[in-house]
Structure 1
Amino acid sequence: MAAQPHEPVHPDPAPIRLPIQGELPSFAGATGWLNSPPLTEVRLRGKVVLVNFWTYTCINWLRQLPYLRAWAAKYSGQGLVVIGVHTPEFGFERDIDNVVRAVREMKIEYPVAIDSDYAVWTAFSNLYWPALYFTDADGLIRQRHFGEGKYELSEMVIQQLLTEAGSTNTSRELVSVDARGAEAPADWANLRSQETYLGYARTQGFASPGGVAPGKPHTYTAPATPKVNEWALSGDCTMTEQATALNAANGSIVCRFHARDLHLVMGPAVPRTSVRFRVLIDGQPPGAAGGADVDNQGNGTATEQRLYQLVRQPGPIADHTFKITFRDPEVEAFALTFG
């Protein structure tokens, strides 16, 4: 994903107030590292450090990722170290092979600390994906940002901290990214549906008659047209705390949503298998409204546990009914997200 510089509005902006907000905690609790040997206080001394908490199926982080790659590429030679701390949200994100694959496929080249035990997360007292912590060359946290957005401000913080550290060649230009697929910015003006978890511990808006049968196989049915931001199941399913397992072929998930994009975090329940599925929008193949992981007839295959982009509408956004039917059994669905 190419990143090209462009001129900021103010070529020589006034310094940003960056009070000290604590010291950079240790990464000693990391269970492993990718793209780097373990980074210690000694290795980071004199560097400006940007710490990013992420988990690879988080849509909010995916939309932030193009900027992280661009900042690492532009400023690493000027004294910036970007560290991605991968702290899992779902159980399958603890699988190191899944994380390695995600790092490779997402072209992440900066250091990644594996935080499967939440030790680094706890050391930072962090609560969010994504989260950014900006640390100066003395190891002091000078800025925090939680969630998406404020990319220009974040980059100006990086520039200021590099200048404070003695860099004399830090450009005031700001990166521009060409983000595509799931990494593209959300259509915020039309986003009226929120992340929906499909496990009983955190789900909302479940509309199958009779409600949830927690933790046991149950034959669910779905209303013909759920209300906006409701979802339902059809078929032989087991809803656990974190996910819904569709146990038999032809089980379905239905939801009514209002957003340009719809994604589903899902994957085969059995490793190294695949599950075929078909997506319909208002009972019809999606055509041009299909996402990156389906064809224009709505057909796709889940081959791994990740976020799948199933809908990206090109035209005016309205309420629609989404339905995904799995042609094979043994698939787990974790969350619906929108953009």
Structure 2
Amino acid sequence: MNSTLQNLGAAPELAGISGWINSVPTNISSQRGKVVLIDFWTYSCINCIRTLPYLEEWHEKYPELVIIGVHTPEFEFEKDYNNVKSAVEKYGLKYAIAQDNDRETWKAFGNLYWPRKYLIDREGNIRYDHIGEGSYEETEKAIQSLLGVSREMSNVSSVDFSGIGTPELYLGYLFARAPLGNPEGFQPGNVVNYRIANITRANTIYLSGVWKNEQDRMVAYGPSRLFLVYKAKNVNIVAGGNSTIDVFVDGVPSNGVDVKDGSGSISSHRLYNIAEGNDYEVHTLEIDAEPGFELYTFTFG
């Protein structure tokens, strides 16, 4: 049967791919006659991580569908092949992963977002384009339309974004979208002794102790602390460095996937879940960090 999805034009070719996982090198033109799903992602992105189970389920459910996960890094450590391979193994991904370390494929598609999915028909035309997570039923219907099949839809469980009142927060001086709460502010390349300030603003990061200002992260140079008033159920951080952190929510030791009874161990560069709550109310987070702790960003769920 013919799909009624709009034709959005010819798909660009994959470009500048530096490595492959789960596949020999391939390209879009060699997939003519097949339906292809392109997923732009990066392994420390919580929004991407939440879409991966759906992609893997579709890979198993629709063997006639070709899925290519284009891994375009946001941070420098995400360019490392072994880091990406470890993430692919951790999340049980069996479909092809292409490393787009120089963002050449990202630019060819004119992409600006993680995650983003494109569906390409058998003639090589883009027929579906979805930005962000969610809309899984809509995406699967588009897959079935292009494949010309009808199967039972997958179960969908999504995050309640309406309850989240804090946006993603970046720590690096080139990445940050908002100033620090401290009067010292960001000081590019410098090691700064931040004095604890009155915590007066929500969704604003306050530092205490000695931190080095890097382009994409803050690095603890001594016993250091961080405070944040946020509105969400769960708190995640992208972090690295070999260190231990103590985490408190409203003064009580936190628990999360990577933190137990307030204590967490940071080693590899990845996303860490440091707090899992029961509600979407306003809470105060405190992180006490040892020297060497590298903090890139906060995300919420």
TM-score (norm 1): 0.84
Cα distance in 2 for partners of 1:225, 1:284 equals: 18
Equivalent residue for 1:133, pick from 118, 129, 136: 118
1:276 to 200, 222, 244: 244
1:59 equivalenced with 2:46 (yes/no) = yes
* Alignment match, 2:155: 176
Structure 2: distance between partners of 1:86 and 1:226? 39
Deviation at 1:205, TM superposition (A): 4.4
User: Post-superposition shift, 1:131?
Assistant: 0.5
| 1:214 equivalenced with 2:188 (yes/no) | yes
Aligned equivalents of 2:267, 2:7: Cα separation in 1: 46
Secondary structure of 1:104's partner? helix
User: Is 1:252 equivalent to 2:225 in the alignment?
Assistant: yes
Q: Which residue of 2 aligns with 1:309?
A: 273
- Give the counterpart letter for 1:137 in structure 2: R
Query: Which secondary structure state, in structure 2, belongs to the residue aligned with residue 174 of structure 1?
Result: coil
Q: Does the CA-based 8 Å contact 1:135-1:141 persist in structure 2? A: yes
Q: 3-state DSSP class of the match of 2:272? A: strand
Deviation at 1:42, TM superposition (A): 5.2
Once residues 56 and 212 of structure 1 are traced to their aligned partners in structure 2, the CA distance between those partners, rounded to angstroms, is: 27
Matched, 1:236 2:204: no
- 1:29 to 2:16 alignment: yes
Whether 1:326 and 2:299 are equivalent positions in the alignment is: no
Conserved? CA contact 1:231–1:255, under 8 Å: yes
Deviation string, structure 1 residues 136-167 (Cα, Å, up to 9, x no partner) = 1111111100111111010000000001xxxx
Question: Could you state the TM-score of these two structures normalised by the residue count of structure 2?
Answer: 0.95
What CA distance in whole angstroms lies between the structure 1 residues aligned with 2:210 and 2:161? 36
Gaps of 5+ in 1: 1-13, 164-169, 180-184, 269-273
Q: Determine if contact 2:179/2:186 at 8 Å carries over to the other structure.
A: no
Q: CA deviation at 1:193?
A: 0.3
Note closer, same or farther for the CA distance 1:16–1:253 as it changes in structure 2 (3 Å cut). farther
Q: Which residue of 2 aligns with 1:142?
A: 127
The one-letter code sitting in structure 1 at the alignment partner of 2:203 is: N
**What is the CA–CA distance in structure 2 between the aligned matches of 1:42 and 1:209, rounded to whole Å?**
54
Contact 1:187 1:260 in 2 (8 A): no
Count of paired positions: 300
Partner of 1:11: none
> CA shift at 1:66, angstroms?
1.3
CA contact under 8 A between 1:90 and 1:242: conserved in structure 2? Answer: yes
Q: CA deviation at 1:187?
A: 3.0
From 259, 267, 279, the counterpart of 2:240: 267
Work out the CA distance in 2 between the residues paired with 1:157 and 1:323: 44
Amino acid at match of 2:95: Y
Cα drift, residue 334 of structure 1: 0.5
| Runs of 4 or more consecutive aligned structure 1 residues displaced over 6 Å after TM superposition | none
1:171 offset after TM fit, Å?
Answer: 3.3
RMSD over equivalenced CA pairs, Å: 1.7
Deviations 1:167-211 (A, max 9, x none): xxx33311126x7xxxxx433231000000001123214101332
Aligned with 2:199: secondary structure?
Answer: coil
How far residue 224 of structure 1 moved from its aligned partner, in angstroms, is: 4.8
**1:162 partnered with 2:126:** no
Is the alpha carbon distance of 1:172 and 1:266 closer, same or farther for their aligned partners in structure 2, counting shifts above 3 Å? same
| Kept in 2: contact 1:205–1:229 (CA 8 A) | no
1:188 aligns with 2:161: yes
Whether contact under 8 Å (1:265, 1:306) holds in the other structure is: yes
SS, match of residue 311 in structure 1:
strand
Q: How far is the alpha carbon of 1:256 from its aligned partner?
A: 0.7
Q: Counterparts of 1:29 and 1:176 in 2: how far apart (Å)?
A: 36
Partner SS, residue 236 of structure 2:
strand
Alignment deviations for residues 294-332 of structure 1 (CA, whole Å, 9 cap, x no partner): 11x210101100110011102x332111011113x1121
Residue deviations 1:210-248, cap 9 Å, x none?
A: 322221001012335342111111111111221111112
The letter for the 1-side match of 2:183 is P
User: Could you tell me the percent identity over the aligned residues?
Assistant: 39
In structure 2, the CA distance between the partners of 1:41 and 1:65, relative to structure 1 (3 Å rule), is closer
Q: Relative to structure 2, which stretch is displaced further, 113-122 or 21-30? A: 21-30
Amino acid at match of 1:208: N
